[in-house]
Amino acid sequence: MIDFVLLIVIAICIIALGLAAILTRNLLSQDEGTPKMREVADAIRVGAEAFIKRQYSTIAVLAVVAAVVIFAIYYFTGQQAIALATAAAFIVGAACSAVAGVVAMWIAVRTNIRTASAAQTSDGKALDFSFRGGAISGLIITSMSLLGVSLTYIALGADPQTTPFVIIGFAFGASFVALFAQLGGGIYTKAADVGADIVGKIEAGIPEDDVRNPATIADLVGDNVGDCAGRGADLFESTAAENIGAMILGVALFPIFGVNGILFPIVMCSLGLLASMIGILSVKGVDGADPMDAMNRGYYITALISAVFLAGGVYYLLGATPGWMYFVLAGFVGIALSVAFLRVTLYYTDHHYRPVQDIADASETGAGTNLIMGFSVGLETTAIPAVLIGVSLLASYWCGTQTGIPQGGLYGTAVATIGMLMVCAYVLTMDTFGPIADNAGGIVEMSQAPDAVRHRMDKLDAAGNTTKALTKGYAIGSASLAVFLLFNAYMADISKLTGKAFEVVNLANVNVFVGALIGAMLVFLFASLAIRAVSKTAQSVIDAVRIQFKDPAIMAGTKKPDYAAVIDITTQGALKNMVLPGALVIIFPIIIGVTMKYEALAGFLMVATITGILMALILNNSGGAWDNAKKYIETGVHGGKKSEAHKAAVIGDTVGDPFKDTAGPSLHVLIKLLATLTLVLAPLFI
């Protein structure tokens, strides 16, 4: 018997998919621009599809191996009953995560050309197209995540007290694929970008997206496979993992809330999806207006409606508890945190504020001071977010304890996480809008469209940079709030397996302390390898471009450079270099857990998470600030383009590229991967 509220979830998801279908049909019927534009867009599409195909083939092999290992672990540790179900859930989660990435890429490579074409006549229309392209991804990915969890829950028997512990396989599958998708895509996009910039902008002195640069198409492919496909998989697994974490907590509260406490997270997220649809439809581009105005308004509409839905949902599902109002308050804490994170990220990465201006100032004395200042800003950006996370955790926990129910505090943090997750579909829309606008700008530039068209796209591109930075802030903020939930899920799982309560992770125990030390180290090592992978792949790109630049016909613009050769080199490099960092973060926790057992592994997990959150902030924000300091100088300050300050700022931007688009976003996934991995492999660690 399927619970009534599950039907609400499924219904809302179907509505969202329907809206996505309508938007897609509408979008595909739009004009595809000039033949020159189509030529560029086709090259991007072919390159992106080729990469995704090869990448997901590699990931599929790794996922099948992982599924077999999971099955074997469960089978041989006395968990035969759920071995097949867990492995199957893993495969389903992995497959859905892959589909999420492919969908995001598929839409993006079709929207970019239509946006470019629209920009020929209207910037409002260009915003509409690129934003709706993002919306299609956002709606499909979010509803797939909710449908995936709901249907897996039903398929696995819908027993409120045991099924949540089996669906963790789904979350791990999603994280597993997301890690490699984000890592491979992130390496691809930045190796191409850094390579194109270093040889093009710095050595040869030609502009960005110049047709003569053989790395430009690879760079534009990168926006689709890294930012769209990677982030799509990332947010897919976030919603999946966080919902499942909250469901496991609901199991502990089953005596109080019944099945409502378990289904609460997915019901609320589906209501958030509804709110996001309204928010999305409220966005309408206006010629000459700042695109951020329309998108910000849509965001606040979504947040407001989500808050109303949250109150209603808590009342409907948990209203039997006298203190239910406190859960509403906890949910508001989550929504408030999402707004606060966006504001802080804006402060640190927008040129209207002190940090980016400081970096621009420091560029006057050269690349050395630009880099020192940028790195210093990056480290500084951990401060306010850490305090915000701390206060939100304590506040939502406090709210929960006021309800007077056992484990109420923890459930308070769960409700806050859910509150933050409700706006997910809208945020994903803004996020995917960024690379689409970026790509459309590249197409306009490479098809040598008139200046007016370029200016329209420049404005949209700048807004895209802002939304990309903001959504990274959102992603890491929601992850931080969710981790406490995921720790609890791990501890509940261990308690269930060992049959005795596991409630203390004693950092004063030498094993736990060493586990914690290794956990923190793993984050740095992973970031090192992710950054190095970009550097290695970029060096191959640079070598390839330099060889082509030796041909005077290419530099003169009379001969078309060999774009495909660079695409191929980047693809090979990205796939080769994603395996080591990816494998490490899977192997390390297993070694610690097997040799030092579950409490040390909990220390590992918790301190790796803390370090991962802070390190992701550092990498994302310093990269964003360097990028915008360069763009700020390009507006004419400090000597403008071609000044020494600009040259210094370009170097800063190059360094920031792998920070903000490879290592940083991969750390988002890493945090959740560690949590889902320890959950699924828990039988090994007792």
Q: Shortest distance, CB of residue 231 to a second copy, whole angstroms?
A: 22
Residue from 200, 230, 378, 589 in contact with a second copy (CB under 8 A): 378
Nearer to a second copy, 162 or 539 (CB): 539
Nearer to a second copy, 240 or 253 (CB): 253
Nearer to a second copy, 460 or 527 (CB): 527
Only one of the segments 18-26, 251-259, 265-273, 502-510 lies at the binding site for a second copy (rule: CB under 8 A); that segment is 502-510
Q: Shortest distance, CB of residue 386 to a second copy, whole angstroms?
A: 4
Nearer to a second copy, 439 or 611 (CB): 611
Residue from 379, 555, 565, 579 in contact with a second copy (CB under 8 A): 379
Amino acid, single-letter form, for residue 67: A
Q: Is 474 one of the binding residues for a second copy (CB under 8 A)?
A: no
For the beta carbon of residue 450, count every other beta carbon within 10 angstroms. Answer: 9
C-alpha–C-alpha distance, residues 420 and 442, integer Å: 34
Q: Shortest distance, CB of residue 263 to a second copy, whole angstroms?
A: 25
The contact pattern for a second copy, residues 168-207, with x = CB under 8 A and - = no contact, is: --------------------------x--xx---xx----
Query: How many residues sit close enough to a second copy to count as binding (CB under 8 A)?
Result: 76
Q: Shortest distance, CB of residue 649 to a second copy, whole angstroms?
A: 12
Q: Is 635 one of the binding residues for a second copy (CB under 8 A)?
A: no
Q: How far apart are the first and last CA of the chain?
A: 35
Nearer to a second copy, 3 or 219 (CB): 219
Residue from 103, 116, 215, 505 in contact with a second copy (CB under 8 A): 505
Residue from 34, 58, 282, 539 in contact with a second copy (CB under 8 A): 539
Q: Is 75 one of the binding residues for a second copy (CB under 8 A)?
A: no
Do 514 and 596 form a contact (C-beta atoms < 8 A)? yes
Q: Is 498 one of the binding residues for a second copy (CB under 8 A)?
A: no
Burial class (CB in 10 A: 0-12, 13-18, 19+), 580: middle
- For the record, the structure tokens of 207 come out as 């502009």
Nearer to a second copy, 68 or 202 (CB): 202
Contacts (Cβ under 8 Å, ≥6 apart) of 627: 349, 465, 653, 656, 657, 660
Q: Site residues for a second copy, window 333-362 (CB under 8 A)?
A: 362
Q: Shortest distance, CB of residue 206 to a second copy, whole angstroms?
A: 15
Helix (H, G, I), strand (E, B) or coil at 49: helix
Nearer to a second copy, 267 or 531 (CB): 531
CA 452 to chain centroid: 33
C-alpha–C-alpha distance, residues 448 and 176, integer Å: 41
C-alpha–C-alpha distance, residues 514 and 603, integer Å: 8
Q: Is 491 one of the binding residues for a second copy (CB under 8 A)?
A: yes
Only one of the segments 4-12, 166-174, 263-271, 530-538 lies at the binding site for a second copy (rule: CB under 8 A); that segment is 530-538
Q: Is 511 one of the binding residues for a second copy (CB under 8 A)?
A: yes
Q: Is 133 one of the binding residues for a second copy (CB under 8 A)?
A: no
Residue with tokens 């330099």: 546
Nearer to a second copy, 498 or 506 (CB): 506
C-alpha–C-alpha distance, residues 391 and 335, integer Å: 14
Helix (H, G, I), strand (E, B) or coil at 280: helix
C-alpha–C-alpha distance, residues 105 and 223, integer Å: 9
Do 6 and 147 form a contact (C-beta atoms < 8 A)? no
Q: Shortest distance, CB of residue 505 to a second copy, whole angstroms?
A: 4
Among 491, 515, 490, which Cα is nearest to 503's? 491
Q: Shortest distance, CB of residue 442 to a second copy, whole angstroms?
A: 20
Q: Site residues for a second copy, window 84-123 (CB under 8 A)?
A: none
For the beta carbon of residue 122, count every other beta carbon within 10 angstroms. Answer: 16
Q: Shortest distance, CB of residue 340 to a second copy, whole angstroms?
A: 16
Task: Tell me the Ramachandran region of residue 285: left when phi exceeds 0, alpha when psi lies from -120 to 50, beta otherwise.
Answer: beta
Only one of the segments 235-243, 391-399, 549-557, 678-686 lies at the binding site for a second copy (rule: CB under 8 A); that segment is 391-399
Q: Shortest distance, CB of residue 68 to a second copy, whole angstroms?
A: 29
Q: Shortest distance, CB of residue 382 to a second copy, whole angstroms?
A: 5
Nearer to a second copy, 75 or 353 (CB): 353
Residue from 85, 606, 670, 682 in contact with a second copy (CB under 8 A): 606
Q: Is 520 one of the binding residues for a second copy (CB under 8 A)?
A: yes
- Indicate the angle between helix axes 324-349 and 291-318, nearest 10 degrees: 160
C-alpha–C-alpha distance, residues 111 and 116, integer Å: 9
Cα–Cα separations (whole angstroms), residue 393 to 380, 385, 404, 502: 21, 12, 18, 21
C-alpha–C-alpha distance, residues 207 and 197, integer Å: 9
Residue from 286, 304, 514, 579 in contact with a second copy (CB under 8 A): 514
Do 114 and 31 form a contact (C-beta atoms < 8 A)? yes
Task: Tell me the Ramachandran region of residue 122: left when phi exceeds 0, alpha when psi lies from -120 to 50, beta otherwise.
Answer: beta
Residue from 510, 547, 583, 594 in contact with a second copy (CB under 8 A): 510
Do 26 and 135 form a contact (C-beta atoms < 8 A)? no
Contacts (Cβ under 8 Å, ≥6 apart) of 673: 172, 175, 176, 178, 179, 237, 585, 586
C-alpha–C-alpha distance, residues 574 and 52, integer Å: 11
The contact pattern for a second copy, residues 203-242, with x = CB under 8 A and - = no contact, is: x---------------------------------------
Nearer to a second copy, 250 or 519 (CB): 519
Q: Is 686 one of the binding residues for a second copy (CB under 8 A)?
A: no
Residue from 377, 437, 446, 489 in contact with a second copy (CB under 8 A): 377
Only one of the segments 33-41, 161-169, 605-613, 674-682 lies at the binding site for a second copy (rule: CB under 8 A); that segment is 605-613
Nearer to a second copy, 285 or 519 (CB): 519
